[in-house]
Structure 1
Amino acid sequence: MRVTVRGWAVVVVLAASVGMAWQFGPRALNAVVTPLLVVLVAGLLTTARVDRPTVERTPVSDGFVGDRRPIDIDIESAGTVSATVRDAVGGGLSVVGDESAATTDSGDNDCEPVLETILEGDERFSYAVRLEERGEHRLGPLTLTVSDAFGLVERRFEYETQSSVLVYPHVYDLHGSARQTLSTVVGSTDEQDRTAFDSLRAYQHGDALRDINWNATAKRPDDDLVVTEYDTDADAGTVTVAADCHPGWADEAAIAVATITTYLLEAGVTVGLALPSGDTAPGAGDRHRWDLLRRLAILEGGDLEERQRQAADVLVRADAEGVRVVVAGRTVPFEQFTGRDEVGRHGRSTRGRAGGAGPGGSDRTDTGVST
């Protein structure tokens, strides 16, 4: 608890009044000194008796760069008191203008939404942020300052609880030639599936003629046809995408890998991921796509192990020479995949396409897929 600037002004007036009363007599100054003293003492007592309000943050859903997210903080107080609420917003996020909360600069590349209000039971502090950069970003800590009715004395409560929001890299639509390039690796995995022999069995109606094993059929004493069954192990028919990126180029690598893996998964391909931080097992479907995007949201620069490079069907390289994609021994600039001169420098693009909700909620403004 501390006295405000206004409170110190009252103290100065009181001190000056006491000095003048000692020199000239108290009677003429009673009308000034007594009310100020009463107000100051009352402010000290009422502020000291304020119970600590409780604060609860609403979880923030993840999103793509450029998305907007509402931030809601519930505050509960035992009585009625004037309060100023400040919430720290970390780097990678920016506060969207809102009539309900002002914004100040904290001086550390962070900004603080500010709400001046009267706490009376339950109160909600709301503002909105824009997701500016890929990565995991923090909201908080929150500071709540209560004061007396005249603003002479204030008391600060700090809440260290923070919430986080994960920001995914942009996902671009692929250019027609890029789809053709990736189709070569998809086609090669399909052919590999048919080289993994499993067993022989008798022909059944509906079996493909190409699966008939004529050599085995010729050796049988009867005229029954024999077909070959191929291994359908989960590792078969997968495409592994790997990212090899120098420090400072993680954003570009993340965009390229997110774009390629999303395209492959939407095409029904089983996709695995190899990053400097480790591998993600092959998988398919929408849930697997979000798992990969979470990994790419926190991708940092680093070199792959040699085994990861050798096992990769699609290798993304990002360094001072740009972003390149290596497919079937052929190196293609990633710009050709999207039909753009430059993609994702600093992890941003200029256009988005509206779509469905992400895994964290339904308040997304776009899917992060740019056309």
Structure 2
Amino acid sequence: MRLTRRGGALVVVCVAGFAVAGVFGARSLNAVVLPGIVGLVAGALQLRRLDAPSVSRELPNDDFVGETHEVTLRFRDVDRPFVGTVTDTVGAGLSASGGPTTVAVGDEPVSYDVTYDERGEQRFGPARVVARDVLGLFETDLVCPGTDSLLVYPRVHPLSGWTRRELFSLSQTDRTDERSEFDSLREYVRGDALRDIHWKSSAKRDDLIVQQFAADYDVTSVTVSGGADPDAADELAEAAASIATVLHDAEIPVTLSLPNGRVDADVDLSGRTQLLEHCALVVDGAVPDPDADIVVEARSGGVEVRIGEGSQSFASLAGGRRIVDDAATREAAA
């Protein structure tokens, strides 16, 4: 407990009042000193009886690096509301805006915006309150127990059209000449039969579009594995998340193995969340499965992605360059 500026000024006034009383008589004590002493005693007793309240923290959902959301604190177990300046502690991978907020603790919630700066598990709390008495003469520091956490996903980068088509082709096996009912249209990938090209749709989109039939192929799981140097785990997380979610969004099952473990993700929403959570918590280490369909290696100089026999930097895959040669284009034009 300590005096505020107002409390310090009142103490000075009371001391001066005693000095004046020595010169002009005790009546001056009644005018200034006694009310001041009563206020100081009352303020000190109010704060001495004050216990730290408990906090209920309403956190936003897990989200990606760079996103901003609102956090709300609600105080409980407060017998009588009091004036306090509230600050919530946030982890190093978060940025809180707004600064300390002065409210009637116990009556009003406190809200602030938080920006996700780094991937991984990020913690909130404990909250700290600088409590003041009713007259603002004293203040004391209260630490509200309790912490919470959420998960921040790595950035997911869009991949070029050619890259996505090459990735999708990894899951297509057991092609047959048998035809079933028409299923959908999709972009041409290497190995598609020319008879399946839908020329009318291709002309409208300025790209090759093929008809897909229900019995064209079976979709198999694609294996993705990655490793990173000690200073490149963040780059691995972004590359692995970008590739895995592109496959998942195309309804392709993904097996993702990283230095922190393995995830077998189905094509439902929970599977996508599993992939993002796994990438959010990745650490540096060697590639667990060098024979995977897709191998991601993050080094201090950049990220290399190996798909089949071809290898390319991840920056070029996101920037629009192809992984393989132009055999598919030549085949389509023949």
- Which residue number corresponds to residue 280 of structure 2? 297
1:56 aligns with 2:56: yes
- 1:68 Cα offset (Å): 1.9
- CA spacing shift, 1:9–1:261, aligned 2, 3 Å: same
Q: Distance in 2 between matches of 1:243 and 1:321?
A: 16
2:111 maps to 126
CA distance in 1, matches of 2:91, 2:228: 26
State whether residues 51 and 78 of structure 1, in contact with CA within 8 Å, keep that contact through their aligned partners in structure 2.
no
Query: How far did residue 185 of structure 1 move?
Result: 2.6
- Determine the C-alpha separation between the residues in 1 that align with 2:268 and 2:160: 22
Matches within 5 A, 1:7-18: 7-18=7-18
Query: Is 1:337 matched with 2:314?
Result: no
Deviation, structure 1 residue 150? 2.0
1:91 aligns with 2:66: no
Q: Cα deviations across residues 185-233 of structure 1 (Å, max 9, x unaligned)?
A: 324xx24x99xxxxxxxxxxx9xxxxxxxxxxxxxxxxxxxxxxxxx9x
Equivalent AA in structure 2 for residue 115 of structure 1: T
Counterparts of 1:320 and 1:144, CA distance in 2: 43
Matches within 5 A, 1:217-232: none
TM-score (norm 2): 0.75
CA RMSD, 1 decimal: 2.6
Tell whether the 8 Å contact from 2:265 to 2:272 is kept in structure 1 after alignment.
no
State the Cα distance separating 1:133 from its structure 2 match: 2.0
Q: 1:162 aligns to what?
A: 147
Distance 1:38 1:328, change over 3 A: same
Q: Which amino acid aligns with 1:13?
A: V
Change in 2 beyond 3 A, CA 1:282/1:135: closer
CA-CA distance at 1:297 after TM superposition: 0.8
Alpha-carbon offset, residue 62 of structure 1: 0.3
1:248 paired with 2:231, answer yes
Shift of 1:173: 2.3
Secondary structure of 1:79's match?
Answer: coil
User: Could you tell me the TM-score, scaled by structure 1's length?
Assistant: 0.68
Equivalents in 1 of 2:241, 2:52: separation in Å? 45
Alignment of 1:70-219 (within 5 A): 70-76=70-76, 77-96=78-97, 102-103=98-99, 114-119=100-105, 121-187=106-172, 190-191=173-174
CA contact (8 A) 1:269 1:284 kept: yes
1:45 equivalent in alignment to 2:45: yes
Deviation string 1:220-278 (CA, Å, 9 cap, x unpaired) is xxxxxxxxxxxx9xxx9221111111122122111111111111112222110111122
Equivalenced residues, count: 280
| 2-structure distance, mates of 1:85, 1:79 | 17
Q: 1:12 to 1:122 in 2, by over 3 A?
A: closer
Deviations along 1:31-51, whole A, 9 cap, x unmatched? 221221121112122333345
Q: 1:73–1:126: 8 Å Cα contact kept in structure 2?
A: yes
- Deviation string for 1:135-186 (max 9, x for gaps)? 2211211012321122112233212311212111122222122123324432
Q: Which has the higher contact order (CA 8 A, sep 6+)?
A: 1
Does the Cα contact within 8 Å between 2:51 and 2:142 map onto a contact in 1? no
- Determine what percentage of the aligned residue pairs are the same residue: 37
**Is the 1:240–1:282 contact (alpha carbons within 8 Å) kept by the matching residues of 2?**
no
Name 1:369's counterpart in structure 2: none
SS in 1 for 2:243: helix
Code of the residue aligned with 1:140 in structure 2: it is: G
Equivalent position of 2:303 in the other structure = 323
The correspondence of residues 269-284 of structure 1 with structure 2, limited to 5 A, is: 269-284=252-267
> Structure 1: which 5+ residue stretches go unaligned?
97-101, 104-113, 195-205, 207-231, 342-371
Q: Secondary structure at the match of 1:123?
A: coil
Aligned residue in 2 for 1:260 = 243
